[in-house]
Amino acid sequence: MPWRVNADFYRVWISEIMLQQTRVEAVIPYYERFLGRFPDIAALAAAPEQDLLAAWSGLGYYSRARKLQAAARRIVREGIPSTCEAIRELDGVGPYTAGALASIVFGLPHTAIDGNVLRVISRLTNDPAEISAPATKRRFDAVALTLLDPVRPGDFNQAMMELGATVCKPRLPLCDVCPVRTFCAAREAGTERALPVKRKPPKTREVRLALALFRNGSGIYLVQRDAGQSRLAGFWELPAKELFPGLRGRVAAEFSHQIVNDRFRVRVSDCRVPAELPAGRWVKPDEMDALPLATITRKALSAVRNAPGFSA
């Protein structure tokens, strides 16, 4: 992983925030671009919000980027925190991230328990408790603390996460090659595939989204979410078709996109430009990368560009 080379505070911190809710393979290119654009804490603290959101575009959960910058500004004022408790006070940092930073960067004896580690502990101890329950998390944290190597806590935490990600996998744990199989109670009991016990996820809700594509030469018309909108404030997107009663157009692209429990069925229609447009701007393809675009907008523009018979 690129963040394991020169594991300084900034690099590990950025990687841990990006890895919340996003897979490792998806994070790596974003991480490298982000560090190229904001090479240190001062650069991140000073970045205009639009540049920051543009660099985060596609990673989702954009409040992470805003909290990251708020924390960077605090660090510029107060210095890099070097205890787990002080790290925990930064915006966007929960117990897992604070433990990871304290142990990996400063070698402090704190656990870092992510979903992978929870799964490993539930199997090592053959514990059938539901893993999102606070009491279960507290119990598993106590187990992790008894296992933690006080001399190399950062390596221990990373090894536990790696064990969960690559060997003690959710559906098919690779017990035959597992380095801790002789200590594993679930393996002994034959219950490894039944663990961990998880709450049933809420039902997926289907949301239909109709977007209007207006073209003018090589430009595409985008509108910006205003600051009053809690989700994606400041982001640019295709206008919703419902803003133009009676507007018709040829279907240029259709696709699905899942955000947590919402499955969006998105239809993009190529429409004639109406006489009046809401506040927005014409954007050329080579200007898109500099703008914050939510994943649905990126997918829509890419689907349209790849649609047969379409030329932007």
Residues at the contact surface with ligand SF4, assessed by CB under 6 A = 120, 123-124, 167-168, 173-175, 178, 180-181, 184, 186-187, 192
Residue 169 CB, nearest distance to ligand SF4 (Å)? 8
Report helix, strand and coil shares of the chain as percent, to nearest 5.
45, 15, 35
The amino acid that residue 258 corresponds to is Q
Taking the complex as a whole, how short is the minimal distance between the CB of residue 173 and ligand SF4, in angstroms? 4
The CA-atom distances, in angstroms, between 272 and each of 221, 226, 236 are 12, 25, 20
Q: How far is it, in rounded angstroms, from Cα 310 to Cα 306?
A: 7
The answer to whether 273 touches 236, Cβ cutoff 8 Å, is no
- Nearest-angstrom CA–CA distance, 243 and 110: 52
Task: Tell me which residue has tokens 């920051």.
Answer: 52
Which is nearer to ligand SF4, 124 or 252 (by Cβ)?
Answer: 124
Name the residue nearer to ligand SF4 (CB basis): 68 or 120: 120
* Smallest gap from residue 185 Cβ to ligand SF4 (A): 8
Among 16, 85, 242, 287, the active-site one is 16
Half-sphere exposure of 219 (CA within 13 A, CB side): 9
Min CB(148)–ligand SF4 separation in Å? 16
In DSSP notation, 170-236 reads SSS--GGG-TTGGG-HHHHHT-GGG-SB-PPPPPPEEEEEEEEEEEETTEEEEEE--TT-SSSTT-E
Q: Residue 281 CB, nearest distance to ligand SF4 (Å)?
A: 53
Is 16 among the catalytic positions?
A: yes
Q: 192 or 237, CB closer to ligand SF4?
A: 192
In 3-state terms, what secondary structure has residue 266? Answer: strand
Residue 185 or 277: the one with the smaller Cβ distance to ligand SF4 is: 185
User: Which residues are identified as catalytic?
Assistant: 16
